Amino acid sequence: MRVVIAGGHGKIALLLERMLTERRDQAVALIRNPDQVTEVEATGAEAVVLDLEAATAAQVAATLDGADAVVFAAGAGPGSGAARKDTVDRAASVLLAEAAAAAGVRRFVQISGMGVDQLPAPGTDEVWAAYLTAKAAAEVDLRGRDLDWTILRPGGLTDDPPTGKVALAAPPLPRGQVSRADVAAVILTLLDEPKTSGMTLDLVAGSTPVGAAAREVAKN
């Protein structure tokens, strides 16, 4: 399987790239900063320098040639302002989905966040509200496309070691945290579960092994 990952230098993406490599799949990481190439290649992934805030859909589609799946793991990140929440968390996802459709890559896994479909409460920090708005808009766009998409909404992210056990279900799950390593493992499993296409799934730490959790939601 050849998987192209947008936001390829993010913590979840790096973990996912290593997992794909370890099972002899091909991971392609789309990154904005050439200084990140060495760290990406250390996972066994191929690094492609491409700024999704400046690229065209045709340029992105060219990087998807021969891909079996696409993962949107990009985000503007801490310290970014409201404007970049829109250009990365929304617009870059829309661009990648458009490119995937043009390239004929149907499988698309989008990393979102728990509760992004809820309106920001009055008084919410402007940047956080912009993040929620951008993620929600990216979800709406993806649902409207003729792709085999799955939207994954993790809870609060930690750098704890993987547990291999999660709670994975259609929203809403109770609020909670989940390690980035477990998120990466779930994404890997979702890529192997085409019956999760068309699903939006909450994810937090839990008691069900990752594979079993994915198989269970695939039955529904």
What are the residue numbers of the active site?
131
Three-state secondary structure string covering the chain = CEEEEECCCCHHHHHHHHHHHHCCCEEEEEECCHHHHHHHHCCCCEEEECCCCCCCHHHHHHHCCCCCEEEECCCCCCCCCHHHHHHHHHHHHHHHHHHHHHHCCCEEEEECCCCCCCCCCCCCCHHHHHHHHHHHHHHHHHHCCCCEEEEEEECEEECCCCCCEEEEECCCCCCCEEEHHHHHHHHHHHHCCHHHCCEEEEEEECCEEHHHHHHHHHHC
Query: Exposed, middle or buried, 131 (CB in 10 Å: 0-12/13-18/19+)?
Result: buried
Rounded to whole angstroms, the Cα distance separating 141 from 122 reads 25
